[in-house]
A and B are shown apart, each in its own frame.
Chain A
Amino acid sequence: MSKVIKAAVVALLVFAQADAQAESLEGQVRYSGPARPAPELPVKHDGHVCGASKPDEALLVDKAGGVRNAVVYLDGVTNAPQPAATTAPLDQKACQFLPHVQAVPVGSTLVIGNSDNVLHNVHGFRDGETLFNLAMPAPKMTIKRKLSRPGLHFFRCDAGHTWMSSYVWTFPHPYYAVTDASGRFTIKDVPPGKYTVRVWHEGWNRKDPQSIATEHVKVEQQVTVEAGKAAKVSFELK
């Protein structure tokens, strides 16, 4: 049997096995640092469209301490099925990117819209360098961009809307999730094994709450997923 066929058979077996025994990994990301009032960011330009102020989206914590918009993913996964590329909508409404944080399979197409009758320019970054910078002066204009590399993408608007920010993660495997309003997440169909589970959060500017944090928060844990029961893990951000 040739090496290729062998590899294919092994991959099929692993895949079938994973499917049969895969479990979900559930948990919560919580905030346990000092109380931090979410300030309103002042709007100094285009107030007629943007409003007088915008909510600070950096650290969204519910009453029970759950952190929204954290991205949880398995690191160092090999032999994972490649998820099908999809579309990732990114709208700009009342001078705010919607959604603020999302995660999609690598190769997905970002579909950027502008619901505001004002100039936005979508300045995309990957690894801190410009990925593209496109003006969107007209509502109803749509821009499509394929995100062909795995990793973190950051979007801002240079047209005087300093508070606008959005993060898009792309993954080459299906084992990721974005926490909901209560900080909870579920990663489905994880094959049994030992994993490093990483949590990324955009961070919050501890000194100046009115500017976007440049240091992201990253934590990790080792987790063992066993066949027959859902694995649980929780994270604390301080």
Chain B
Amino acid sequence: MTRDEKELQALGQQVRDELGEPLAGARQVTQRQALLARVSGADGKAGEGRPRVAGRLTRGLLWAAAGVVLLVGVMAAVSSLMPSKGDRLLPGVRGQQQVTVHIGQRRFRAPEGTWIEAPAHRKARLRFSNNSRMELAPGGRAVITTLEPNRIAVRLTRGALDSDVTRRRHRHWKVSAGPFGVQVLGTAFGVQWKPDSEQLRVEVTRGRVKVTGELLPRGELVLVANQRLDVDRKRKTFRVSLLLGATATRVVRTPRQGKILDPPPNPTASTPPLAKAPLLGSLKKLLSGGKHKAAVQAAERIGLRKLTRTLPDGDLWRLARSCRFARKGSHAVTVLQAYRRRFASTRHAHTAAFLLGRVHLEQLGRPAKAARWFQQYLRQSPRGALAPEAHGRVIDALRRSGQTTQARAAAQRYLARYPQGIYRRLAQSVLSK
């Protein structure tokens, strides 16, 4: 070591002593809570990183880019603050969307995250501050998942929801039901979702909507005025038909208004020409690059069954992950089951059972099957890393599938094993019922 280096080492040591240690207990608790809030999205910033700035630009270019960005930013801010002609802002934050829910004579404000359940014999009417309206049929249940100036999303968990949406440029409306989504492209339409029979019906009386989800060709379908879409997930069928008798300007009131004509004349359902099948190499690149949707589309073109027989261990595992993240539940099941068959001795094979449970529970709405997969994981890895999670999810899956006795037994086992576990409240609530 040179003399200079020794001097720097002594200096560094003294600097280190002066700095001391960063982590007092309270600071650590704050950091941990902030991180978990960020990860779970509780602070509304899940998944966000620091804003990325372009790489090494010359100083002049950077100034020019900054000027343009500033100008665009100011214009965007001004435009987002300007209410459109149709907007009638309720008192509150300027530009902020607001919803008032009317049930009979009662009226209340519904912030983001509000669950709305229409009584058995009454509709619940939702009025948005831009004059858009929705009607939840008696007995229906929905939650306002997003309520932002330019993005509104409602999740229908049961019953029928009729909508008359005032469209505005750059404002996105979405109604989701089960694994399906209905993106509003300026329109009046009705959505009906029966969670028990897993049947979806969408009727459009004005404008257009884009329905996304499983079973649809390439995962999406655009419906135009006077069209009806029926999807039956259990039978794995979908049908588009003409909706006669619906007037062009009225919100669909009841799902029985139209007559069904077969075969369906649907100008938008024609399949676009298939893109050139990508090579396996590009699929692997997409998989390792985390481009989940694109990877799944590429896999579909190559042939999922073929891939499940030929892909090596790591790629097949990544394909399963992409299917899960792209919310292609049935694909994920196919790939994970193939993984378990082909690589039964690997570390991931047991994890695949756990993941199959999650996919069945969260994406396919099959809690009974989910419970069996979680139990399978626990049989194979009783002391596995995911065992506490699997024990907890078994309770949830059994409860949701209506197997109350088994759910209670699972809850008792959970509390005995993990009295401080994160599913303890669920277990306690199952036992208290």
Do A and B come together as binding partners? Answer: no
Q: Which residues of A contact B (CB under 8 A)?
A: none
